Structure 1
Amino acid sequence: MPLAVYILGLSVFALGTSEFMLSGLLPPIADDMDVSIPQAGLLISAFAIGMVVGAPLLAAGTLRMPRRTTLIALISVFGLGQVAGALAPTYEVLFVSRVVSAFACAGFWAVGAAVAIAMVPKTSRARAMAVMIGGLSIANVLGVPAGAFLGTHLGWRSAFWAVGAASAIALVGVATLIPRIPLPERKPELRRELLIYRDRQVWLAIAITALAAGGVFCAFSYLAPLLTDVAGLDEGWVPTVLALFGVGALIGTVIGGRVADAHLFGVLLSGVVASTVFLAALALLASSAVAVVVLSLLLGFSAFFTAPALNARMFNVAAAAPILAGATATSAFNLGNTGGPWLGGTVIDAGLGFASTAWAGAAMTVVAAGLVTLAMRHQRAGRTRVIAKGPESQEIQGAQTATAESSRL
């Protein structure tokens, strides 16, 4: 695996810490900003919305820009967004800073994923994505619990300052260690890349990714109040349980990345079904502290076990447009990260309690499992539609045929 892929994974550590650390900071942010916990939870959705919108916009806007220059610019804006969040005087300013940071984060993910995929063989795509997602997993193991620890002892703003410092370190790594990635001889054309959205398999991949991610984060986003108000654990346990989720995520990423290149649909289906089972168990056993702690670890494993396969699947079905494929995968994950916390907040506001977020998440993953089965049947039957006509059609179809080999059962 090229060194640059690992540098991207290290950069994702800073991005992932910022994206998920609010799960352990909702109570202090809600108190400081004088808002409810569901309102504070909307900050998670705000970041996810920025990711959903920002990924395709920035992918399209930077299509012909040098890759390394684009990555440097995006990680710089992201770091400044963290500083703005740390200094935010009101909830509204904090909300805007999250959206701006998310735009930069989304662009970095989309471009970084395309760079990682471009540097490895087609049979190693899931492994390359596993390295990048590994940065996200380590963020959950170290960064998110550290953010919760800082929030508890030094105030929630200190967590934003820490991520800003991590972003500065990532900037140095990207600027000095990411090689110059030449643009293709044939200049990318946005109109041509947009043709991928005429393929039903692309839309199935989007829906599966959004529902699988959203189901888990519907519950995970409100894990801190679930631990303290329902399971009866002390607030000091929150960083530890978040770290356990991250440990599960890291293990799941490593195993899923190694298996998915050969058994992509097997990883997708087993991982989504496992998430469904764990979410249902969490809803049923929410009052048991031991059960919640164990299930947090298992949910981290199942969610990130599928993540490399979900990313690789998107690059397989959208092989003709690698930049937009990365952007689309990023947007799909964050559609789930938007819808999940929103749905969780809705059921809490309805008076159903924090444990109900797990039931809502399980409903999302059940639908995701059904769509995986549908996509698998289309793949087996060879009914993937040709997304353009004429000579371009042959080129796209050839790319899809070649990459489809890596998504066999």
Structure 2
Amino acid sequence: MPFAIYVLGLAVFAQGTSEFMLSGLVENIAADFGVSIPAVGSLTSAFAVGMIVGAPLFAMLSLRRPRRRALLTFLITFLLAHVVGALTHSFEVLFVTRVIAALANAGFLAVGLATAAGMVGPQAKGRATSVLLSGVTLACIAGVPLGAVVGEFWGWRSAFWGVALISTPAVFAVLRSVPATPVDPDAPSVRHELRALRTPRLILTLVLGALVNGATFCSFTYLTPVLTHVTGLSTGWVPAALALFGIGSFIGVNLGGRLADNRSGQVLAVGGTALLVGWLLSALTAASPVVALTLVFVQGVLSFGVGSTLIAQALYTASEAPTLAGGFATAAMNVGAAAGPALGGVALGANFGFRSPLVVSAVLVAAALVLGGAVRAIDSGNGKGSPSAERPLEARS
């Protein structure tokens, strides 16, 4: 892997810390602003909505612009949004900064995915994707738990300052390591790339990604109240639980990256089924500390293993639209990230209890499995068969 891809992963680490850290700061933010826990959960949904809008929009706007310049613009905007967020005493302003940060994050990730995929061979997109997404999982292991600890001792604002500080060296690293390549005059136009995205299999892949990621964010957003109110653990256990999820997600995204290039079918079928069982078991056994913490780790592995495989398959399916494919994949995953916490908040608001987000996650994964199975059955009934799962989609005849 080119070194510049790891530099992009460093920037994604800072952004992933921001995206996930609210799960360990929910109760502190709610107390500071005098709002409900579901209201703070809406900050995660707001971030996701910004990612949904920003990913395809900024992917299109940056299509004919130097990628390094676009990456730097997005990263600096992201940094400044966190400075404002750390300073504000208005929940509404904090909400807006989350949207702005998400727009910048979305643009960076969309262009970053295209940049990384363009630096490797045509059969290594899964591995390149996994390096970038490893930045997110490392954020879960180190950045998010550290943010929870810092927030516990010095307040939630210190976590926002921490993200700004982490982003600063990433700016200089991108400036020095990402090649300043000129715009290719023969690069596909926006219209050409949009036409390339109109494939049923790509649309299916994006929908499945939204459902799986919705399940992940639904439970992860409300992990702290589940652990403290249902499992009965003290708040001191929250950083450790977040780290467990992060370690699991790091393992999952790297396994998914290694398998997505040639065994995606097995990952999606077996991993998806195991993911459903895991969410159901999490809801049933949440009162047991040992089982609950074990499943936090296991679900991290499965969620990111399946999710990263779906992103890689989106890039393979839309190989003729490398920039917009990354943007739409990012948007689809964040449709789930927006809907998941919102659905979990509805379940909590209806007084179904703190286990209810885990049940909602199981329902979302079940829907993904049913949809994927139905499409495969229709293909088989029409005599089309299903494409081989042994090699990347773009290599299939």
Normalised to the residue count of structure 2, the TM-score between the two structures is 0.95
1:65-214 aligned at under 5 Å gives the runs 65-214=65-214
1:179 CA displacement: 1.1
1:286 CA displacement: 1.2
2:320 partner SS: coil
Corresponding residue for residue 254 of structure 1: 254
1:180-329 aligned at under 5 Å gives the runs 180-329=180-329
Corresponding residue for residue 399 of structure 1: none
Corresponding residue for residue 404 of structure 1: 393
Whether the 8 Å contact between 1:283 and 1:359 is mirrored in structure 2 is: yes
Q: Structure 2: which amino acid aligns with 1:358? A: L
2:15 partner SS: helix
Identity %: 44
Distance 2:364 2:35 in 1: 28
Q: Structure 2: which amino acid aligns with 1:350? A: A
Corresponding residue for residue 56 of structure 2: 56
1:51 CA displacement: 0.2
Whether the 8 Å contact between 1:219 and 1:357 is mirrored in structure 2 is: yes
Equivalences, count = 391
Q: Structure 1: which amino acid aligns with 2:207? A: A
Corresponding residue for residue 362 of structure 1: 362
2:120 partner SS: coil
1:30 partner SS: helix
Corresponding residue for residue 46 of structure 1: 46
Spell out, residue by residue over 1:251-273, the C-alpha distance to the aligned partner (whole angstroms, 9 max, x if none). 11121111121111211222222
Spell out, residue by residue over 1:300-352, the C-alpha distance to the aligned partner (whole angstroms, 9 max, x if none). 00011123311111111211111110001100110010000000000000000
Distance 2:259 2:240 in 1: 29
Q: Structure 2: which amino acid aligns with 1:137? A: T
Spell out, residue by residue over 1:353-385, the C-alpha distance to the aligned partner (whole angstroms, 9 max, x if none). 11011111100001112233355567886589x
1:203 CA displacement: 1.2
Spell out, residue by residue over 1:267-308, the C-alpha distance to the aligned partner (whole angstroms, 9 max, x if none). 122222221111100110111111111110011000111233
Distance 2:310 2:11 in 1: 21
Spell out, residue by residue over 1:70-122, the C-alpha distance to the aligned partner (whole angstroms, 9 max, x if none). 00111000000111110121110000000000000000000000000011112
Corresponding residue for residue 373 of structure 1: 373
CA separation of 1:284 and 1:403: change in aligned 2, threshold 3 A: closer
1:200 CA displacement: 1.2
Q: Structure 2: which amino acid aligns with 1:75? A: L
Spell out, residue by residue over 1:26-68, the C-alpha distance to the aligned partner (whole angstroms, 9 max, x if none). 0000000100000000000000000000111111111111000
Distance 1:345 1:407 in 2: 42
Distance 1:93 1:158 in 2: 17
Whether the 8 Å contact between 1:133 and 1:307 is mirrored in structure 2 is: no
Spell out, residue by residue over 1:178-198, the C-alpha distance to the aligned partner (whole angstroms, 9 max, x if none). 112343341432122111342
Distance 1:265 1:30 in 2: 42
1:262 partner SS: coil
Q: Structure 1: which amino acid aligns with 2:72? A: I
Q: Structure 2: which amino acid aligns with 1:334? A: N
Q: Which moved more, 1:307-316 or 1:224-233?
A: 307-316
Q: Structure 2: which amino acid aligns with 1:129? A: T
Structure 1 unaligned blocks of 5 or more: 385-401
Corresponding residue for residue 397 of structure 1: none
1:198 partner SS: coil
Distance 2:330 2:45 in 1: 14
Distance 2:87 2:376 in 1: 48
Whether the 8 Å contact between 1:193 and 1:320 is mirrored in structure 2 is: yes
Spell out, residue by residue over 1:109-150, the C-alpha distance to the aligned partner (whole angstroms, 9 max, x if none). 000000000111121110110111111110000000011111
Distance 2:385 2:334 in 1: 28
Whether the 8 Å contact between 1:127 and 1:308 is mirrored in structure 2 is: no
Whether the 8 Å contact between 1:268 and 1:372 is mirrored in structure 2 is: no
Distance 2:191 2:23 in 1: 39
Whether the 8 Å contact between 2:124 and 2:261 is mirrored in structure 1 is: yes
Distance 1:289 1:327 in 2: 39
Distance 2:281 2:310 in 1: 24
2:354 partner SS: coil
Corresponding residue for residue 37 of structure 1: 37
1:123 partner SS: coil
CA separation of 1:187 and 1:269: change in aligned 2, threshold 3 A: same
Normalised to the residue count of structure 1, the TM-score between the two structures is 0.92
Whether the 8 Å contact between 1:41 and 1:345 is mirrored in structure 2 is: yes
Whether the 8 Å contact between 1:262 and 1:407 is mirrored in structure 2 is: no
Corresponding residue for residue 398 of structure 1: none
2:124 partner SS: helix
2:249 partner SS: helix
Corresponding residue for residue 351 of structure 2: 351
2:123 partner SS: helix
